[in-house]
Structure 1
Amino acid sequence: ELIFGFTLRIRVSVVKHKNCHKGLLEMLDHMCGFMNSKQKLANAKDSIEKREIFEDISDHCFEQIDISLDQIRSLQKNKELKKNEDEIIGTKEQRSKRKEWSSKSLRTLRPQTEFFDDIDNSIDTPFKPKLLKKPNSLQKLQSESQLENPYAFEIDQFKYCKRQLKRREPIMYRPLKETAIYWVNTTAQLTEMIDHIVSEFELAGNDKFNGIGVDLRYDNIHSYQGMACVLQISTRSEVYKLRRVLQQLNVIFTNPNIIKVFYQSKQHLLALQRDLGIYV
């Protein structure tokens, strides 16, 4: 009885499987008719030929989908182009305003014309550090060395002090309305700013977090010298923006006891050294 029951179940399963297989083939052949395909899975000799026919049908189906999607995108693109064209042409009044704005922009002077240092972007000229003085140095400035970082020796000798490695509670920044912001564009303002940061660091002592936040705006697409435009330094109480005669800042930036917090420091360090002669 057990053998008979087991055999009966197998026969029933085989019949169900054959019926399912037949129904699946009929459904796929019906789908082929929608795609005008002359191939039919039911006419295939073996499973390998059926698989090849199914792959051809699938490829044809996906190709038709891609063509249809491209046609839809093309229609949408044409509508957008027509809309943009209408917006670009605009009214007569808008065209006259654009013409006036364009003529003004042509008269704008390039900021590089006011640079004190000459910018040499020629390929044949090797890069020479802009550094003239070397504050916080352990080794004198070597003028004949053009390729080595002037602070290479100091960087190799650098060691973190214990207070810099100590875990501290985060100190929240002040609200923007309560933070003084200064635009620094003269040597006198720069000197005053440096004195303020140094004195703030000295007054804070070793028990408090001593550091500055640094952000830089520069051309990060073309590596031409002289494309750094704005340097921003933030202390706990004030924010400064700088541009020229900035090597004086090495008094702060090369001081190993003052922590510098950078955003994207790898690229910022390159631009600071290349364009402004500032080393960290």
Structure 2
Amino acid sequence: MASMADAVPGGLGDFLRSRRERLSPEAVGLASGGRRRTPGLRREEVAELADIGVDWYVRLEQGRAVSPSAATVDSLARALRLGPAEHAHLRTLAGQSGRRGFARETVPDAIRRLVAGLGQPAYVTGRRWDVLAWNAAAADTFTDFARLADPDRNVLVYLLTDPDARRLFGPAWPDEARRVVGQFRAAHDVWAGDPAFLGLAERLRRGSAEFAAWWEEHDIRTGGEAGQKVLHHPRRGLLRFEYATFQANDDPALRLTVCTPVDGPAATPE
């Protein structure tokens, strides 16, 4: 099996290929043409539907041409029947250039004080879903992040590799984990080739069979800034929360998530 590093530099090519392989000929009005050796559409069929040259499309999938025009991107989105979120993601992948290497974000002291002063669970994450700040209620509800090594203070690492997280989320764990993986995939593709993102994805792939399978599907998720969580806490029983996520004005990469208890026990530490 190819390593994660082998699969990258082309977030764009990988995304195009995954969407092509998902689309049946019948879905776009083409005859299946009998038995096919590979799933989905052929490259030449996508090129024809998008009204671009076959060689140009092949180069895009192989990562040998990384600067398609906006018109080409829109044509490919129509040909591949992409939804709005996928279309926007394709535009982002097609336009990436000259990005600096990833650096872990810094949480301003004012935000740290705000989080610490909240009575309900609250925490701050960055672009890789690193947990950068949290309060006592979050530590009591989820896990004591202070006891974790710095590389382990990450929502994805906790959710996908910690057995306690599976027990905490109970039957909702697959949906919650898959949602976060889809959001991470969208961010990862923007930072395609960056060692910080590659390393995290590689670690998750080794540590979680579910992640490895979901990663190959190349699902992307947007939104998820608000919703509900039902947790099965080992000491406090069933906990219900509404959560909302906010971006910091000074650094939009920072996301503050606040969980408010709903029809259940108080969310403050005992």
Highest CA radius of gyration, 1 or 2? 1
TM-score tier after normalising by the smaller chain length: under 0.3
Higher relative contact order (CA 8 A, sep 6+): 2
TM-score calculated relative to the size of structure 2:
0.22
